[in-house]
Amino acid sequence: MNWQEEYKKKLITAEEAAKLVKSGDWVEYGFGINCARDFDEALARRVDELTDVKIRCDIGAYQHFTAEADPKGTHFLWNSWHVSAHDKKFIGKNLFYIPMKFHENPMMTRKDCIPDNVFVMQVTSMDKHGYFNFGGSAVNGWAAMETARITILEVNDKMPRCLGGSQENVHISQVDYIIESKNEPILTLASSNPSQVEEEIAKHIIDRLYNGNCIQLGIGGTPNAVGKMVAASDLKDLGVHTEMYVDAYLEMFKAGKITGSHKNIDRYKQVYSFVMGSQELYDYIDDNPGLASYSVDYTNDPKVIAQIDDFVSINACIEVDLFGQVCSESVGTRHISGTGGQLDFVEGAYKSKGGQSFICLPSTIDIKGKVGSRIKPVLTPGAIVTSPRTATHMLVTEYGIASMKGKSTWERAEALINIAHPDFRDMLVAEAENMNIWRRSNKIEGAEAVINY
């Protein structure tokens, strides 16, 4: 069957699509590099015609035209599932965060969110069977389409075609309108070189890895450093099951480290939910049958992760307290990021047979020339607990690894002080004593006598 006729019937301009939005509507955009771009630009031009249009998005990777057009949020108000680079200048003004555990995003969309009046998502060109591929993100596209009154696809022929998996494509008969975009380049991210401290942290983790591990890398310098070191190591037959697919995996694959031959499920497949990285990475994943794109309620489901033996989860955080509570999304009340999938993988990896979950942080932070400890007696007032102390498995700084599972409060404090920067250990011991989570017998002569595990 020739689907081109139906395609032509549903084809409209970005300006015509923007006119479908009414005051008071909820509008959702695709995730990450699938975020609506031409549509948002056209909608911004209607700023004086509309009021109280709520836009919901997760890591909107492109310029937020509507947010820029209305700094006070009277006409367009953004709501973000995860605060990203483009979001930060609007947070608390005309953009607000939606707390979530990432694997619950599709469920929340279907069950708890106000249904969208309009959903817009960048996709690939239509194939001969009438299908559009979601490309860089299968996170929650189908959940949003199922609940939206109007579904609009913004076609960009530069979007890589990412094979599934599941819920990674949609048929022309299942959407309402098509926009042909300006086909501008997909957003790319430069891969930065890890710092010396991040490399030191990565070394501690590399020492714990072995052949056949299935690896999840989160966002940040340390996960990236681990990927680079794995590529240069003697490790082999590694698997991939992750939310975010990044350039570090490409480096590992090119080095012959990834086969997926030991995976209990999705054997031989590199499984992921979204991709952000270099153009080389997008070229690699395009039409690649060795990878499988899934919705995030599969990739991040702790029950699914736990089925994969020898799972290793590597994520980063902002600060941690002596109880083992982890903050990865704010500095006090100042919002930085979001929960994302950290808690999903912390819990899933720990329940995996042979699984290990690492949360990484440099021991110190330099703010305007003043150095402070990232390991604190208690979290900065107002800080959000991303991973509770009951879930945290292992915490890593450049000084070593502190395991939290099965440890009482005094053992946790001792282990964490032992990986804090030496300049702050005496202070942390004193604070632990004040908080009644320190055994005086553990301290003989200040911080020098902190027991090594």
Rounded to the nearest angstrom, the gap between the alpha carbon of residue 339 and the centroid of all alpha carbons in its chain is: 8
Q: What is the dihedral of CA 236, 273, 263, 304, to 10 degrees?
A: 140
Phi, psi of 217 (to 5 degrees): -110, 130
Containing 321, the helix (H) or strand (E) segment is strand 319-321
**Are 260 and 308 contacting, i.e. CB atoms less than 8 angstroms apart?**
no
Cβ neighbours of residue 202 closer than 8 Å, sequence gap 6 or more = 194, 222, 225, 226, 228, 229
- Give the separation between CA 353 and CA 307, rounded to whole angstroms: 8
Side-chain-side CA neighbours of 115 within 13 Å: the count stands at: 9
Nearest alpha carbon to residue 359 among 219, 254, 256, 263: 219
Q: Which of 41, 168, 200, 243 is catalytic?
A: 243
What is the Cα–Cα distance from 15 to 42, expressed in whole angstroms? 5
How far lies 52's CA from each of 23, 90, 337, in Å? 6, 16, 25
Displacement of CA 52 from its chain's centroid (Å): 29
Q: What are phi and psi of 173, to 5 degrees?
A: -75, -10
Nearest to 202 by CA among 220, 188, 184, 187: 220
- Identify the residue whose tokens are 């009951």: 390
- Sequence-ordered list of residues with C-beta below 8 angstroms from that of 238, at least 6 positions apart, any chain: 211, 212, 213, 214, 215, 230, 252, 257, 258, 259, 260
d(CA 111, CA 121): 21
Q: Which residues of 143-169 are buried (b: 16+ CB within 10 A; e: fewer)?
A: bbbebbebbbbbbbebbbbbbebebbb
CB 416 within 8 A of CB 324: yes
State yes or no: is 433 an active-site residue.
no
Catalytic positions are 243
